Structure 1
Amino acid sequence: MSEVNKGQMPTDEQLTAFIDGELDAADCERIERLIADDERVAERFDFLSRSALPFAEAFQPMLAEAPAAKLDAMLAAIPSARENKTRAAGIGRRGFLTAVAASFVAAIAIDRAVIGIGHRLSKPDEDSEWRAVVAEYLSLYTTDTLSAPAGDHAQQVAQLNGVGAKLGLSLAPEAIAMPGVEFKRAQILNYDSKPLVQIAYLDPESGPMALCIVQSTKGAAAPDMENRRGMNVVYWSSATHAFMLIGHAPIDRMQQLAADIRARLVA
């Protein structure tokens, strides 16, 4: 894990490593000061601590790989200032993180946080929950989150073959390419004990964008639109999979990009 730069907004990876007890003492101290002094960092830390999405799986090995003693040592080293601030809101952070650590060690899943759903353009449907979870997760992304190089063509093929195999879906760089939008990575997340493929992009005009796919038995459905957490979403289903394209680009551009990808993936 790279050193946490003083005064800078920590990345999701750094906050996850802090929660997992994988930073050294100096970086832990800097992260703790940022949490205490910057409300944005505190909010992101609280979200990553309680979310049901597998952030550790997405960025690093799960906390279950670490001994409970290491977690106890990390918690014991946390100064009291932030703890007092959190307790003022109704719960001590030490008590909350201890519960999180116990959940990992005991392999107990944390209950999913209640997620506010902001439908703007369409009525709710029975498959909307996974899209809400994806939107919650992607809302944390910044341009810096996707700043790492995407790798060469062979590496992209390997990534896409790997995630596609998890869903029984054939994916290729040419099939998921979008004009003017840079492919950054493909990874597997875990939603309700099922694989969720996230293909991340960086749009130079609007920022992070993602194509997400899960297996579905609901049957084919034509594209529809909605807005979640300030992002535009185009979603549709084939006979075997559900898809969503989410990002900050205008809805007409999102529709065109989704139509191009849908035509290639269904073909």
Structure 2
Amino acid sequence: MMNVDDTLLMAYVDGELAPEQRAEVEAAIAHSDDLAGRVAALQASVLPYRAAYERRPVPPVPESLTRRIDELVSVTTAQKRRPARASGRFPMQWAAAAFVAGAICSGVLTGYLGGMNPLKPGVDPWVRSVADYQVLYGRDTVANIREDKVSTEQVLSDIHQRDGMPVNVPDLRQAGLKFKRVQRLNYHDRPLIQMVYLPERGDPVALCVIEDAKGDAPVSTQQVGEMKTVTWRANRLAYVLLARDTSLDLQKLGQGIASGKVAELYGQSAEEAPRASRAAPCNDAAQSCRGTTT
């Protein structure tokens, strides 16, 4: 049997293998439960990011950045004492745009993400990163994704067993939110779990979890860029529930999840040791989180 590593499996999931090699990988998967589980986990992390970027409007270039680039170009030109050639000069608007695009990709301009507004001090760095990431999600990004019970359970099993994180997926249907997918992301080599929900109207809502050794903290609400965020910490796990402006009362919804008054949709089996904050069935709490539409 061929040696199948994660790089090869990712190429298989992304559809980048030649037909012959793809057939070999499929044969190996058919004879290995471990490979099948790894493929399911990788497939659960695939989202149509290209469509999300294509539908996302390009943010305007800050005037201060344009002026700064003008100054740098002027100084360089004066030092070299060379006349500018119109045919070879890169237009300033495109130069500034290219600078912003490159900085965003490298994570330098974190403060400009989320509506090009500087983020407030006091926000945990991981929450900032999640907000910057979530702002790329539009309704079309996840609308066509179907809930996959097998993949979801496999991803949660990996999170429980490999990462030791007792993460459960809360059932938010009574609040008008349909579960779409759970993903295991990475933040500075730490597992970051993202659960995505879709309301009847509007953009997605996400619940993210990361390990945090800090003490427990109560539910707190804060605006981070374009995102409304609700954060709390319990049992060495930190949570953030976030979305753009919606008809949902995110604070009440977060309080319901944090207090364990919202039922689980997916979670650890009854035989495993429950956590103090583990969700318990109570649909009324989820129902009370539904906001008032105007």
- Normalising by the smaller structure, the TM-score range is 0.5 to 0.7
Structure 1 residues without counterparts, runs of 5 or longer: 3-10, 17-33, 45-82, 100-109
Task: Select which of 206, 225, 230 maps to 2:226.
Answer: 230
Question: What residue number does 2:215 align with?
Answer: 219
Structure-2 separation of matches of 1:214 and 1:198: 9
Structure-1 separation of matches of 2:210 and 2:173: 20
Question: What residue number does 2:108 align with?
Answer: 113
Q: How far is the alpha carbon of 1:87 from its aligned partner?
A: 7.7
State how 1:86-235 maps to structure 2 within 5 Å: 88-90=94-96, 111-116=106-111, 117-119=118-120, 124-125=121-122, 128-165=124-161, 167-173=163-169, 175-179=170-174, 180-235=176-231
How many positions carry a matched residue from both structures? 182
Q: How far is the alpha carbon of 1:252 from its aligned partner?
A: 6.7
CA-to-aligned-CA distance 1:139-195 (integer Å, 9 cap, x gap): 11111111233334333322333344454222344x354521011111122211211
Q: Percent identity?
A: 24
User: Structure 1 length as normaliser, TM-score?
Assistant: 0.56
1:13 aligns with 2:9: no
- Compared CA separation, residues 43 and 230, structure 1 to 2 (3 A): closer
CA-to-aligned-CA distance 1:193-247 (integer Å, 9 cap, x gap): 2111111111123321100111101111111110112221100011311100001
Structure-1 separation of matches of 2:220 and 2:259: 15
Structure-1 separation of matches of 2:98 and 2:203: 35
Q: Bigger shift: 242-251 or 231-240?
A: 242-251
> What amino acid is aligned across from residue 95 of structure 2 in structure 1?
A
DSSP 3-state at the match of 1:206: coil
> What amino acid is aligned across from residue 214 of structure 1 in structure 2?
I
Structure-2 separation of matches of 1:39 and 1:185: 21
Q: How far is the alpha carbon of 1:135 from its aligned partner?
A: 0.8
User: Structure 2 length as normaliser, TM-score?
Assistant: 0.51
Task: Select which of 252, 259, 273 maps to 1:256.
Answer: 252
Structure 2 residues without counterparts, runs of 5 or longer: 1-13, 16-47, 61-88, 112-117, 261-274, 279-294
Question: What residue number does 2:37 align with?
Answer: none
Structure with greater helix percent? 1
CA-to-aligned-CA distance 1:80-133 (integer Å, 9 cap, x gap): xxx95578425868xx98x9xxxxxxxxxx8532322444xxxx43x6111111
CA contact (8 A) 1:159 1:185 kept: no
Name the larger-Rg structure.
Answer: 2
CA RMSD for the aligned pairs?
Answer: 3.7
